[in-house]
Amino acid sequence: MEYQYSNRTNSMKPSIIREILKQMGDPQLISFAGGNPSAEAFPVEEIRRISEELLREDPVGALQYSITEGDPALRQVGEAYLNQQYPIKKEADDLIITSGSQQVMDFLTKLLCNEGDVVATEDPAFLGALNSFRSFGATLVGVQMEEDGVNIAALEAVFTATPKPKLFYTIPNFQNPTGVTTSLAKRKAIYALAKKHGVLILEDNPYGELRIAGQAIAPIKALDQDGLVVYAASLSKILAPGLRVAFCVGPKQLLTKMVVAKQSNDVHTNVWAQRVCQRFLTQCDMQQHLVRLQAIYREKAEYMMAQIDEQLGTQVQYLHPQGGMFLWLTLPAGVNMQTFVKKCLAKKLALVPGNAFFVDDAAPCQSVRVNFSTPSRQQIQAGVAIMAQVLAEMNS
Amino acid sequence: MEYQYSNRTNSMKPSIIREILKQMGDPQLISFAGGNPSAEAFPVEEIRRISEELLREDPVGALQYSITEGDPALRQVGEAYLNQQYPIKKEADDLIITSGSQQVMDFLTKLLCNEGDVVATEDPAFLGALNSFRSFGATLVGVQMEEDGVNIAALEAVFTATPKPKLFYTIPNFQNPTGVTTSLAKRKAIYALAKKHGVLILEDNPYGELRIAGQAIAPIKALDQDGLVVYAASLSKILAPGLRVAFCVGPKQLLTKMVVAKQSNDVHTNVWAQRVCQRFLTQCDMQQHLVRLQAIYREKAEYMMAQIDEQLGTQVQYLHPQGGMFLWLTLPAGVNMQTFVKKCLAKKLALVPGNAFFVDDAAPCQSVRVNFSTPSRQQIQAGVAIMAQVLAEMNS
């Protein structure tokens, strides 16, 4: 039979990263391509203990159907957790549980975008988000990233263009893939522009707690007095991604509709996982856990930067990220980036070609994304050595 | 701020059932409204033991990111499980894991339907499926249900109308809400018509293993030699719905695209839950477990039918279902069904008004859906007594 797909299906793209990762059965392959938390970062003992406890105390509750909005106790403790440092959830907001924050991208696009509607995004940006927008036939318009966040003049040009974007997508902390942290001044400027032009902001903050340098900066959501910001906070990077649990905070009216979208998608998020998260946030010292994670990632990031400085020297350029999981390496002008990535893969080092993260992924690009959270010290050393070797070959 | 929604958002409907269930904090309320498995049906001991085992043996594997298609071991054991009695998954098919079979409805509609495209469905039908179709702006066309499945002449008329439906939705075993089992002759006729007219079939089989009378009948998917059937098999009703794990079997080409849709929605299904299911299907005696479930539901169904016969007598009409979780009660001609439901609710019995399950939910309807899987014997007796009382009041 010949299948007749919807128009939007033609604009769907599989994630190049997840395609790369699927090939990775080879145990000799070093991956700088993924974005997985370090295995040592998982609070295994606590999750094991909590799981046993909750399956002993209320197994039926953990196994039965639940409500779409999420486990009431988790929503409550999630609100307290998110509002600790900054006022994220206001009176006019609601907080719901989603199966990872990827669902927030998907549902929000479904709610807002007809085919051809514009979504503005940092450019480059998180590929998974771009693919969610594309999967509903949205037209992506990129706004150039600078070292302290998007170019504000370019953002205003996009906000005043016709058609006006339905939303603007941003990761203000340690952006994926660039590692850029948006300055407070730019966060304020983004909010002011969104308010002036009536554009919704989707603020994605998966890495915010993984700060390894510098001072915390208020989320854009903390500035929101106008119901302009939908805020996604994932537990994937700070507890465990296999759980698929995230918080979405946003204007009540919007979230009521998001609940309907979720109802007809997965009904509700896995209950065991919600309760594990609820008990972890209630019983465990999250601050202490985060200090441990920050130490792990600081050490990995610094080791990778030291290795790059030592082995690649001034051949490559990169920004020192204040957190997150990635470095964004820019290769020398004469080096073909795609060839570099292929040659590294032939020597068993996986990297993601930087063009994958751009709205126009066919445009020329000199950068690669390098993950430092997953590989071991030994793998970091060996992987950077492969990059040095390939660069030497390509320069000779 | 005033939010500008997409066109499809206007066609989204919240589930009336889930709205009813949310109100049910009242412990005195008896619910015949839900579709929850009986709490005693959960294999609590096994799940507890398996969970401890897998969090001890490979905690990192259970907590880390995984692949969108689903846990490879679960996909393998799932295939063996589904193919035990009938050839469900053929060479040309793939099998993926979804977060409940509700996701299959959602993703398949996303892949196939532009706004306004037609989805043909049994009428009445499972509300969650109708709401998924509606949420993408599909136009629903209902095909009248009879005691042995849809009216075949009506189905052919729908298949030959313009525009041709993108898919036909059916629950052949113990349909929700009517309890109807589609006969083998009608399954063959449905398949032949779908083949003749090139319409995809979405066969939903959440209740198939919960047979309490009669003989098993081959699924439509077992007849499929032409890549015409997408088959959804959930573990929600036979293991536990809180896990959110289901199997989707269908033509490889279609499922490759479904994986892309899932990637940009929830990335993958909760890994712990997938591994619990994998180990349950591997280590435990599923046949024995199902025999236990069938006994539980047979006893509940028979008790409810006996109570109805005793307390309501010939005032109501219903079909004896061969399995599943529901009775479809038709009230006497003179009784206003909506008033009946409201009066029952005032006496603390929740029922779902039958019109909720129809494509045209504003059309007159004399039926209510009654769930027998969740209430206890005592609640069944008391709930039927409330119905009898309300009928007596309304007749007097």
CA distance B96 to chain A (A): 15
CA distance B71 to chain A (A): 11
Of the candidates A21, A198, A265, which has its C-beta nearest B106's C-beta?
A265
pLDDT value, residue A391 = 97
Mean pLDDT for all residues in chain B? 96
* Contact criterion met (CB below 8 Å) for A220 and A201: yes
Query: Looking at chain B, which residue has its C-alpha nearest residue A41?
Result: B60
pLDDT value, residue B14 = 77
Contact between B39 and A62 using a beta-carbon 8 Å cutoff: no
User: Taking Cα atoms as reference points, which of B11, B8, B39, B21 lies closest to residue B376?
Assistant: B39
Tally of CB atoms within 10 A around A227: 18
Which residues have C-beta within 8 Å of that of residue B60, sequence separation ≥ 6?
A: A39, A42, A44
CA distance A311 to chain B (A): 31
Query: Looking at chain A, which residue has its C-alpha nearest residue B101?
Result: A266
pLDDT value, residue B387 = 98
Question: Which run of H or E residues covers position A349?
Answer: strand A349-350
CA angle (B377 as vertex; B375, B383 as ends), nearest 5: 65
Size of the A and B interface in Cβ pairs below 8 Å? 256
Reported as a single tens digit per residue, the pLDDT across A185-216 is 999 999 999 999 999 999 999 999 999 999 99
List of chain B residues whose C-beta atoms are within 8 Å of the C-beta of residue A229: none
Residue-wise DSSP of A25-82:
T-TT-EESS--PPPGGGS-HHHHHHHHHHHHHH-HHHHHS---TT--HHHHHHHHHHH
Q: Check whether B217 has a pLDDT greater than 70.
A: yes
- What is the Cα Rg of chain A in Å? 21
CA angle (B298 as vertex; B292, B299 as ends), nearest 5: 95
Query: Looking at chain B, which residue has its C-alpha nearest residue A49?
Result: B52
CA distance A258 to chain B (A): 10
Q: Check whether B396 has a pLDDT greater than 90.
A: no
List of chain B residues whose C-beta atoms are within 8 Å of the C-beta of residue A48: 52, 55-56, 59
B366: left (phi over 0), alpha (psi -120 to 50) or beta: alpha
Contact between B131 and A106 using a beta-carbon 8 Å cutoff: no
CA distance B269 to chain A (A): 7
Collapsing DSSP states into helix, strand and coil, what is residue A128?
helix
CA distance B264 to chain A (A): 5
Query: Looking at chain B, which residue has its C-alpha nearest residue A259?
Result: B14
Please indicate whether residue B327 or residue B25 has the higher confidence score (pLDDT).
Answer: B327
Q: Check whether B168 has a pLDDT greater than 70.
A: yes
Contact between B228 and A8 using a beta-carbon 8 Å cutoff: no
User: Taking Cα atoms as reference points, which of A328, A335, A325 lies closest to residue A388?
Assistant: A335
Contact between A59 and B52 using a beta-carbon 8 Å cutoff: no
pLDDT value, residue B21 = 66
pLDDT value, residue B13 = 78
Parallel/antiparallel/unpaired status of strands A167-170 and A246-251 = unpaired
Of the candidates A47, A99, A263, which has its C-beta nearest B18's C-beta?
A263
CA distance B309 to chain A (A): 30
Which residues have C-beta within 8 Å of that of residue A67, sequence separation ≥ 6?
A: A268, B18, B21, B22
Reported as a single tens digit per residue, the pLDDT across B292-325 is 999 999 999 999 999 999 999 999 999 999 999 9
pLDDT value, residue A22 = 65
Site of tokens 């063959």: B188
pLDDT value, residue B148 = 98
Reported as a single tens digit per residue, the pLDDT across B81-140 is 999 999 999 999 999 999 999 999 999 999 999 999 999 999 999 999 999 999 999 999
Q: Check whether B15 has a pLDDT greater than 70.
A: yes
CA distance B342 to chain A (A): 23
pLDDT value, residue A25 = 67
Which residues have C-beta within 8 Å of that of residue A58, sequence separation ≥ 6?
A: none
List of chain B residues whose C-beta atoms are within 8 Å of the C-beta of residue A266: 99-100, 102-103, 106, 244, 266
List of chain A residues whose C-beta atoms are within 8 Å of the C-beta of residue B136: 6
Query: Looking at chain A, which residue has its C-alpha nearest residue B9?
Result: A111
Q: Check whether B163 has a pLDDT greater than 70.
A: yes
List of chain B residues whose C-beta atoms are within 8 Å of the C-beta of residue A241: 63-65, 267
Contact between B42 and A65 using a beta-carbon 8 Å cutoff: no
Q: How confident is the model at residue B366 (pLDDT cuts 50, 70, 90)?
A: very high
Q: Please state the rounded mean pLDDT for residues B167-183.
A: 98
Question: What ipTM was assigned to the predicted interfaces of this complex?
Answer: 0.96
pLDDT value, residue B183 = 98
Residue-wise DSSP of B240-275:
-GGG--EEEEEEHHHHHHHHHHHHTTTSS--HHHHH
Q: Give pLDDT < 70 ranges for chain A.
A: 18-19, 21-25
List of chain A residues whose C-beta atoms are within 8 Å of the C-beta of residue B46: none
pTM above 0.90, yes or no: yes
Of the candidates B103, B166, B242, which has its C-beta nearest A65's C-beta?
B242
Contact between B51 and A47 using a beta-carbon 8 Å cutoff: no
Contact between A5 and B66 using a beta-carbon 8 Å cutoff: no
Of the candidates A14, A34, A39, which has its C-beta nearest B60's C-beta?
A39
Torsions phi, psi for B362 (to 5 deg): -100, -5
Contact between A5 and B106 using a beta-carbon 8 Å cutoff: no
CA distance A313 to chain B (A): 33
- Residue to test with chain A: of B31, B49, B54, B63, most A Cβ within 10 A: B63
Contact between B67 and A18 using a beta-carbon 8 Å cutoff: yes
Q: Please state the rounded mean pLDDT for residues B332-345.
A: 95
pLDDT value, residue B367 = 98
Contact between B44 and A64 using a beta-carbon 8 Å cutoff: no
Contact between B21 and A64 using a beta-carbon 8 Å cutoff: no
Q: Check whether B144 has a pLDDT greater than 80.
A: yes
Query: Looking at chain A, which residue has its C-alpha nearest residue B38?
Result: A64
Of the candidates A6, A64, A271, which has its C-beta nearest B111's C-beta?
A6
